[in-house]
Every structure is written in structure tokens, then in C-alpha cells.
Amino acid sequence: MHVDARTLPDPSLIEGDICVIGAGPAGISIALEWANTPYSIVLLEGGGDHVDNRYQQLLRGDSVGQRYYPLETSRLHYFGGTSGHWGGLCSPLDPIDFSKRNWVPDSGWPITYEDMRVYFSRAEQKLELGHGFDLETWEANDTSLKSLPLDKNTICQKAYQFSPPTRFGTRYHEAIEKSKNITLYTHANVVGIDASESLKTITQVRATNFEKKKLRVKARYYVLACGGIENARLLLCSNHQMKTGLGNPYDVVGRYFMDHLEVVCADLMMPTASNLKLYLLDLYITKVRAELAASGTKQAELQILNGSISLMVKNKNNQANIDSFSSDAETNVKMWNQLDRQGSHYDDVTTLHHSMATIKKWYHALHPFALRFSLFMRMEQAPNRHSRIFLNNEKDELGMNRVNLDWKFTPLEKRSMHLLCHLLGQEMGRTGLGRIRLMEWLVNLLDESWPSTLGGGWHHIGTTRMHEDPRKGVVDSNCKVHGIANLYVAGSSVFTTSGAACPTFNLVALALRLSDHLKENFTRLDNKHLPL
């Protein structure tokens, strides 16, 4: 069911079993897991069915550290969330990302890669992915895909699959509307969370909209799924009972903000054109792409972070993402919708892939001078307590304090970029495939400056991180907020480290894991068996 909260009486009280706050990939994934169960799910979305710049302005804030995208457009405030302008890139985190690395401060998740792996296939279904993440399987299924002969003990080649991309708002709107036990409330912006006197349970959440209609929601369990910045913001703003905000006795909420450092870091020059179809991207056509990363062994040996390099055909007109990103969310989403419509016509092209001659003709038509490549780096950010979002004094139109972002790095990021390029250059030299030339800013490790082209990936990670110690994390290994029995957090804000992989696939897998945990809770409490 779908209810526009602007049409409800003022005030209104809604009751349910689970209240999911935020209808992006995490929130929708959780809600749908409860379809056709005896439990009522209240799914709250602050925006409407379409992007509206007035709602986007609720997300406005200042960036006071490293240059960042406008906060009001790097995430989307409508049904479907930031999947509305997502590129579709999917890959799981690596086992090393979960482990305690003594060269990475505050690393080490309280769960393992194996705890996540069991949810990968379900996440693949939600994101409409294909044949898994084993490159050899993709190569076996498509002989036009050939990997480079690099030593896997030095450079590992990771498969990144491309979702169509799944626009959660479009793809799952009908399923939500038709569900008898899931009720979606749009235009229901949660502006406060109320707890019991002991602060050990949540009693209700309060929502409103531009029409100033007031809405209270009471549920047995609450799940924050508003995104990496808004999850923290909501906890910090719920400070009428605890000054530091809910779930924040040790000042961890909002800290450890991480995004991937994304930048062109080097050029790769090859003496002869090779079949590099596996490494290049054509939007809406490419189903899998290989990226190059240091092996876990080499990361430990060199004490570097996890990073990933992709190839881009060198083009003088390549504009850095951070310079090309518009501050108008409506225009951005319209552009993506138009690209999506064009991309749907490429299905006919994929059928031509059976013909090798056609592949070559198409490939060379698009990449006639594929001997020079830009190496695009996506580097993990080390957890840094001083990189954070925090409340500022300005209030938005609904009365909530806005946030500032202070994006900060450590020297480890640049050192890791340099050494990863060094490793790749070494492998290119060893195999005779080509030569790498570092960008000038990456040559001297003593120089801590960054180029203006450095941007993030719109990946807002770590602000309600997972850790068993409440002094170092906001949620436990089940994503439950420390000290509060019925409040959970979903999304990339719970990641302990960022890894090199884009977060969407992993946050969906974690959301499904959280949903299973809640089902186990209900099974235990109500003696009702719920299928996982």
C-alpha cells in the first residue's frame, strides 16, 4: 500500500511491527523481505515519488574539509533513494576488508566475510545481477573476455558486475504498492526519535512534511535506513533526552565518515592494442568489468589500504567527476532517466556479442586508439575519527539542524595509491604489456597535497559504524544500536571500513542479513516461524 502522508489527518498515529525509516536500497530491501508475513511494516519516505529540489534542500549542508560534492545532491531524497542516480557498479567487499589490519587504525569488523557471503546471492537478485563474481566463469561464458596475464599473488583482478542499474523506486514500486502488509508513507520526514525514560527502548518516531502535518509512528522495532549522512544526522538531532544524541554516549555518531578517494592517478601506455574488453566500460552494455587491485598478501607486506584501478580510454576531454557534478538534483536524475531509456534499446546490441567479428568492429569503432589509458583509482579511506559529519546551527525548513561535513584523510591513502600504482607498473613491466606514468601529484610521497580533481564516489560510509565496543562503534554485529533494544541501522553508515568496492551491493547484503536477524527475533518472541 502507498499513502501520501500529506493526505493524513493532523496529527496522525500509525502503528506497526517494524518501522523502516528511509526507502532507498536498504529500506526497500528490508521491507520487501517481510511481504506476505503476518507482520505490518511501516516504510517511511521523506520525499515523494519524484525528485524535488525543495526536498533536496533539506539535505543541504556545508563541506568544511576536503572538497566534496554538494551534500544536497550527492544523495537523493525520494522513493528509491540514491539508486536514482547510481551507476550500477557492484562487487562484494574482500575478506581482508573485514579483518583487523595492524597498519590500519580502527580496522576490523565484528563480523567476517563468510557472515556476509551467505547473503550475496540474494543481493544479486535484488540488484538484477548475472553470473557471480568469479572472473573465470565470465571468461568461460564469453570468449571475447580475456584477462591480462598478471601474477595473481601481486595483482588480483576483481570482477565488478553492472546492475541495469536497478532504480529501486521504479523497480519495486509495484511490489510495495500491492503488498497487503507493507505500507509506504511518502512525504513523511522523520524529524525526531523518542526513547523511553531509561533510553533503552524507542517509543516512537515523529515525522512531518512541508504541509506541516504531524505524524507519529509506534512500532516494536525501528530501522534507520536514510543513508550514510542522514542516519547519523537523525541520531544527533534526537538530542532532547540525551545531549549528544541518541545512541551516542561516547561521541562516535557521525565520526569515521569515509568515502572512496576517486581520481585518475596514472597513465598506462601499451605498445600494441590488446583485447581489453574485460577492462573497459560501455554504460548499459557492459555486464562485467575487471578492476586491478593489490593482493591481500601484498597489502599486508606493503601495509597499504585496499584500492582498485580501472582503465579508461584516454581522452583529453575527460572531466573529473567532482567538476562535472551538477548541484541540481532534478536535472541529474532526468539525465539518468534519459540514459536509462536509451540504454534499454541496447538489448539488440548484446545479441550481436555472439559474433566475434562484430565485437571487434564495434569495439574498435568505440575505442579506435586504445593504446593509452587513464588509470582511475578507487581507494579505500582509512577510518579516521576526525573525518566526520556534525550538526551546525542552521535549521532546515522542517526544523532539523543541518550538518556539516569535514572530510579528512591520513597519509596512508596517498601512500597506498602510490604503492598500488608501483605494483601495477612492476607487473606491466614484468609482463612486457606496457609502461605506467604516475600523475605528478602522486610521485612525491612527502607532498601531502591532493589534486583538485580528487573526488569521492557519493559513498557515505562509517558514520554509525559497527563495533562490539560502544566506545568505538554505534551498532553491534547485528546492526543494533548499542544500549537501545529496538533500534537498528541499515546502510553503508554501519560499515566499519570502506574497502575498495562500491557500497550498494554490500549494504543490500547487510540489509538482508539484518532482516533475517529481525525475523529470528520475532520467531523467538512470538513463537512464530518466519522463512528466511
Nearest partner of 417 among 386, 459, 448, 388, judged by Cα = 448
Rounded Cα–Cα distance for residues 70 and 56 (Å): 11
Which three cell numbers, joined as nine digits, stand for 329? 538534483
| Site size for another protein (CB under 8 A) | 24
Beta carbon of residue 410, minimum distance to another protein (angstroms, whole number): 22
Rounded Cα–Cα distance for residues 198 and 188 (Å): 27
Judged by CB, which is closer to another protein: 212, or 430? 430
Judged by CB, which is closer to another protein: 193, or 370? 370
* DSSP bridge partners of 401: 395
Strand pairing of 41-44 and 62-63? unpaired
Judged by CB, which is closer to another protein: 428, or 481? 428
Judged by CB, which is closer to another protein: 261, or 442? 442
Q: Where are the alpha helices (DSSP H) in 306-444?
A: 321-324, 329-343, 347-351, 356-366, 411-431
Beta carbon of residue 269, minimum distance to another protein (angstroms, whole number): 4
Residues 263-292 that bind another protein (CB under 8 A): 266, 269-271
Q: Where are the alpha helices (DSSP H) in 81-155?
A: 95-98, 113-117, 120-126, 135-141
- Interaction between residue 395 and another protein (CB under 8 A): no
Nearest partner of 459 among 386, 378, 515, 403, judged by Cα = 378
- Interaction between residue 153 and another protein (CB under 8 A): no
Using the rule CB under 8 A, give the single segment among 314-322, 359-367, 404-412, 425-433 that binds another protein: 425-433
Using the rule CB under 8 A, give the single segment among 63-71, 214-222, 240-248, 418-426 that binds another protein: 418-426
Nearest partner of 83 among 133, 27, 3, judged by Cα = 27
- Interaction between residue 152 and another protein (CB under 8 A): no
364: left (phi over 0), alpha (psi -120 to 50) or beta: alpha
Using the rule CB under 8 A, give the single segment among 378-386, 428-436, 483-491, 511-519 that binds another protein: 428-436
Residues 244-263 that bind another protein (CB under 8 A): none
Burial bucket for residue 207 (CB in 10 Å: 0-12, 13-18, 19+) = buried
Judged by CB, which is closer to another protein: 377, or 421? 421
Choose, by CB under 8 A, the member of 117, 435, 471, 528 that binds another protein.
Answer: 435
Choose, by CB under 8 A, the member of 430, 448, 471, 485 that binds another protein.
Answer: 430
C-beta separation of 433 from 322 below 8 A: no
Residues 316-375 that bind another protein (CB under 8 A): 371
- Interaction between residue 81 and another protein (CB under 8 A): no
Beta carbon of residue 493, minimum distance to another protein (angstroms, whole number): 37
Give contact residues for another protein (rule: CB under 8 A): 266, 269-271, 371, 421-422, 425-432, 434-440, 442-443
